[in-house]
Each structure stands twice: as C-alpha cells, then as structure tokens.
Structure 1
C-alpha cells in the first residue's frame, strides 16, 4: 500500500468510528501503520476493513485488516452435502480395520442425530 492509501484508510476509520478512533499524533500513527501496511495489498486490506465495519462496533486493528480472511465459524461447519459426500467416501474404502469401522459408524450415528436423521 502507498502512504496516501494508508492515510485515506486511517481517515475512513476515524470517520467510521467517531470518538472511538482518536488520532492525536497523525504523522506518528501514519508512520507506524505504514511500516506494516506498505507490504500489504490495498484491495485486500479494504475488503477486510469493509467486512470489519459490518461486524464490529470497535475500530479495526492492523491485525484485523491484514489477516487473510476474517474468521467465520460457519466456514468450519461442513454442509449437509459435504457431510454426505464424506460419508460416501468413507463407505467406499474397503481396507479399514474393525476398530476404524466401529468408530466410523459411531461418528455417522452422531452426525445423523445432529442432522435430525436418526
């Protein structure tokens, strides 16, 4: 990112979070943010900023703006289709031990219970 872009970002943060992001020494703040953000992609940082605006009443930190992707718990939960595909894949493997087969059946029963398909 260019220094001008970082300055505009800081201005956007300040105007988006009035009273919560107070800049007392603008040059010093810009210098410190520039040390980290100069190596970052402007578009990615701005996408993270807009996502942050939608999800938080607190101003973002540099870490919020540079992380690869905002955390979303729903991304870690497989969909029904993904689960069924995984179960089909497991069932198609013929070389498993009895212990593994039992563990798989227990897991499948738990998944069916969670999905309401007991």
Structure 2
C-alpha cells in the first residue's frame, strides 16, 4: 500500500468519523504499518468496520478484520468437507466396548424412566 493510498484511507475514516483527526505523523505511522497490505482489502475491511463500530478504527482493527474473516471461513467446512466427514461417520463400525457402553447407557435411561427391559 502506498502512502497516497494510506492518505485516502485516513480521509475515508475522517469522512465516517467526524472526530477522527490525523496529521503527518499519523500518516507516516499508518503508512509504515500498512505498506505490505493491499489497499482494496483494507478499504473493504474499513467498510465492514464502519457498519458495526461507533468509534474510529486503529490500524490493527483494519488488518485484523481481514484475518478474522479468513479464520472464520476456514473454520466452517464447505459442503464437500461436510459430506466427506458424514460418509466417514457412516462407515465407522462401533467397537464391542462402545456397543457395551451404549447398552449400559440405555439401561440407565430405562431405569430413570421407569420402563422395563426391551423384549
């Protein structure tokens, strides 16, 4: 991101937050931190930030917004991953120990409910 793009970003923030002030020192500091970033992504993060926050962002808020979206989407499986996971569950056969535990739990539930053994 160039210093000119950083200046445009700070002007946008000033547009959205009337009490936001910046000077040459702030421009230089933000430009140094944002240099490796992509202007379009940071601007998009600002738009999202503005929708949900009443106070002006810190530079980290605009960088973290990108990372948070990435982390969240990576944590949610897509349809193929979900289908693959479910098919693996269907293939898995319970062990004898698991079957015994299931029967023990069923017996406890029947006792709690006051119903007899299955016929």
Q: TM-score, normalised by structure 2?
A: 0.62
Root-mean-square deviation (CA), in Å? 3.8
The CA deviation string for residues 32-83 of structure 1, in whole angstroms up to 9 with x for no partner, is 00111011011110110111011111111111111224499899678xxx87
- Mapped to 2, the partners of 1:102 and 1:76 lie a distance apart of 32
Q: TM-score, normalised by structure 1?
A: 0.62
Moved over 4 A (4+): 70-78, 82-88
Larger gyration radius, structure 1 or structure 2: 2
Structure 1 or 2: more helix by fraction: 2
Gaps of 5+ in 2: 106-119
Find the counterpart in structure 1 of residue 3 from structure 2: 3
Find the counterpart in structure 2 of residue 17 from structure 1: 17
The aligned length equals 99
- Mapped to 1, the partners of 2:13 and 2:101 lie a distance apart of 54
- Mapped to 1, the partners of 2:41 and 2:33 lie a distance apart of 14
- Mapped to 2, the partners of 1:53 and 1:29 lie a distance apart of 20
Residue 98 (structure 1) shift: 3.7
SS of 1:36's equivalent?
A: helix
- Mapped to 1, the partners of 2:96 and 2:37 lie a distance apart of 49
